[in-house]
Amino acid sequence: MSLHDKCALIPGASRPIGRAIARKFAEAGVSLILPVFDWPESISEMENEFTRSDFNFSVISTDLRDKNNVIDLAKDIEKNYVSIDYLINNIERGGMPVVHGSYDLKHNENQWDIEFDTTLKAKWLLYNHCAPLMKKRTGASIVNISSISGIAGRSGSAALLFSDGYSAANCAVRSFTKNWAKELAPNVRVNELMLGLIMYRHGEKTRGWGMLSAPEKQNLLNTILLGRTGTPEEVADTAYFMAVDASYITGATIIMDGGFTLGGQDVPPIPPGILD
């Protein structure tokens, strides 16, 4: 399907998962609006890659935690693109307990606020100020990217990876998803993609994963029914499906965790019973 007349707002595209999502949409012909803030080396890598690939994209420096910054972003989009077809709300920040330690430590003085402001408030600001631009288009959709930390919390085998604040913020995303789906129906669909352990995000190639012992890593993998972590490309395929193809799904949460939230307990055989 060619989507050359469509545009997508995708924050977090400089990092591996966001970049895979942006790449997926760009390959379908979608024009990309990419707010960026930190990770300058990653931003440069993204710009070089997307330029070589001849993607149609615009990089806009924006602190998505700041209301005035987001208002300016929305005005800029309206001026240059008129409307938005897809908002992939891929913005979050979470500290891993295995890396950061307790919130009471001095270096974590602002960590709770960072997790809530980035994971939750930024999503709301983008929605609040960009949804009016989406109402102008038929078939527009929003995908909120969240984490299974909203289900698991800081417990079980994931206790080393999911902090309290990050977990609470992700739990609240589901409320946003359902409310926004009601507010924007029937013209704009709103769904949530809840991620488990993904490479570059709570999985391999993260600082936290590298600090885990071999038994701790194996314990996590044993909890995942599919026995492995996911890839950014798998996330991108699912996000694209939810945004573009899932035309009769709204207000729903798809859990993409390889069965992590179901794992941890074996299913025993059915007992013989006592009846003749």
In this predicted model, what pLDDT tens digit does every residue of 30-58 receive, in sequence order?
A: 999 999 998 899 999 999 999 999 999 99
What pLDDT band is residue 1 in, cutting at 50, 70 and 90? low
Q: Based on the number of CB atoms within 10 Å of its own CB, is 29 exposed (0-12), middle (13-18) or buried (19 or more)?
A: middle
pLDDT for the residue numbered 276: 75
Answer whether 115's CB lies under 8 Å from 169's CB: yes
> What is the average per-residue pLDDT within 97-113?
94
pLDDT at 34: 98
| Overall average pLDDT of the 208-212 stretch | 94
The whole-number average pLDDT for the span 186-209 is: 96
Do residues 234 and 256 lie in contact, with contact meaning Cβ atoms separated by under 8 Å? yes
Across the chain, what does the average pLDDT equal? 95
Give residue for tokens 């941890």: 264
Q: What percent of the chain has pLDDT over 70?
A: 100
- Over residues 93-113, mean pLDDT: 94
Question: For residue 265, is pLDDT > 80?
Answer: no
Share of the chain above pLDDT 90, in %: 89
3-state DSSP of 144-191: EEEECHHHHCCCHHHCCCCCHHHHHHHHHHHHHHHHHHHHHCCCEEEE
Q: Which residue from 161, 179, 173, 147 is spatially nearest to 255, judged by alpha carbons? A: 147
| DSSP-assigned letter for residue 269 | P
Domain ranges within the chain, ordered by starting residue: 7-256
Taken in order 147, 148, 151, 156, the sign of the CA dihedral is negative
Backbone φ, ψ for residue 14 (5° rounding)? -75, -25
pLDDT band (50, 70, 90) for residue 76: very high
Q: What's the rounded mean pLDDT across residues 15-28?
A: 98
Give the separation between CA 75 and CA 227, rounded to whole angstroms. 45
- CB within 8 A of 199, min separation 6: which ones? 16, 205, 229, 230, 231, 232
Residue with tokens 């602002």: 110
CATH 3.40.50.10420 for domain 7-256, yes or no, is: no
Q: Above 70 in pLDDT, residue 220?
A: yes
Q: What 3-state class would DSSP assign to 198?
A: strand
Residue 246 three-state SS: coil
Nearest to 33 by CA among 62, 3, 54, 53: 62
d(CA 79, CA 34): 15
